[in-house]
Structure 1
């Protein structure tokens, strides 16, 4: 139990570093943000950050990898969990939309600052994308084979669903007309229509 609590405390501290760093990278840009500024915003010293990250680029890598790794894992679970393809795709799109909205600053930093990533992080991002695409493609192929989805090209369907869901990071506003829950529900409904599934909003 003590080990678990210690790990939780370490994870909490690491998450706080990522939250603050992503905010500063978003507002000022990666190159114009210093580790000292991140430390000041956290009310700590730079050595505290060095316990977790050797360089600012390593910190950027974790900011960028956070959402891609999570998305890949969600896609894997959607492919492997129980339920019909329709049920699993609906749950997947809903949960992914929630995560995109929740982590929209992380995604904004990723799309804008990707060129500053270390090579190892670039390779990991590419692998996350491949895992995501493979899992979602498998799910769409399964739905087509079972007759639940009326799609002629799963690749096009995958790109359409991914683009629609991911782009929410750009336009969603917390003080806007729609809540995150409403957007996620609508995205799931649109995905069902895109694959031609006969389903009702839940």
Structure 2
């Protein structure tokens, strides 16, 4: 796609610039509250110029959600399905999960909040990728139980519990708070591996 020169600002408007600006505006104001004109004004171009890069606002949302999800799940699945013990693989992927979701917290917030606005094909791709990730985490927990590293009643439900815990970090964590992200990740991974995944009652049906 052609690059668009913006003489007034002395910079070039690239696809990445448009995408980054839209991400910031969607995250701050919500997808439905932000129009193409607002994005164009923030970039410094006329609205028609944006269509050299994206043919609609929905295409911008799709790119934000799909790119963030696919990058994360591709790396996570490679780790979960790679070498090493189940415990080591799960520890590595949980550390990656926490760091990635913090670094891409705007994209993740947009995806979760505005998922219903995605085109059906894009939504299906994202949900398929997320299911594959959950299944891979479940498989790692199952393998860990078989190896004596974990002890849970239902690996699938334990996977939901672990992932819900790490997903919630972005709700409250602040970089200027009393704990840094790496230390926090260490604590969460330890609590998951040595606490939650050592409880035989997790996921076990009550009598």
Give runs of aligned pairs for residues 34-183 of structure 1, distance below 5 A: 34-183=35-184
Q: Secondary structure at the match of 1:149?
A: coil
Distance (Å, rounded) in 1 between the aligned partners of 2:182 and 2:14: 28
Q: CA deviation at 1:13?
A: 4.1
Q: What's the TM-score, normalizing by structure 2?
A: 0.81
CA RMSD of aligned residues (A): 2.2
Q: Give the corresponding residue for 1:196.
A: 198
Q: Structure 1-normalised TM-score?
A: 0.83
| Deviation of the 1:47 alpha carbon | 4.6
Which consecutive residues of structure 1, in runs of 5 or more, have no partner in the other structure? 1-11, 198-202
SS in 1 for 2:84: coil
Deviations 1:28-54 (A, max 9, x none): 221221122222222344455323321
- Maintained 8 Å contact 1:67/1:100: no
Q: Structure 1 residues 141, 13: CA separation in 2 closer, same or farther (over 3 Å shift)?
A: farther
| C-alpha distance in 2 between matches for 1:14 and 1:195 | 43
Q: Deviations over 1:31-85 (max 9, x none)?
A: 2211222222223444553233211011111222233223322331222222111
Larger RCO: 1 or 2 (CA < 8 Å, sep 6+): 1
Partners of 2:33 and 2:26 in 1: CA distance: 8
Q: Distance in 2 between matches of 1:52 and 1:128?
A: 25
Matches of 1:30 and 1:53, distance apart in 2? 15
Distance in structure 2 (CA, Å) of the matches to 1:84 and 1:14: 41
**Structure 2: how far apart are the matches of 1:88 and 1:33?**
40
**Structure with higher helix content:** 1
Given that residues 104 and 170 in structure 1 are in contact (C-alpha distance below 8 angstroms), is that contact kept between their aligned partners in structure 2?
no
Deviation larger for 53-62 or 42-51: 42-51
Question: 2:23, 2:64 within 8 Å by CA — same for their partners in 1?
Answer: yes
Q: Tell me the number of residue pairs that the alignment of Structure 1 and Structure 2 aligns.
A: 187
In structure 2, C-alpha distance between the alignment counterparts of 1:167 and 1:112, rounded to whole Å: 14
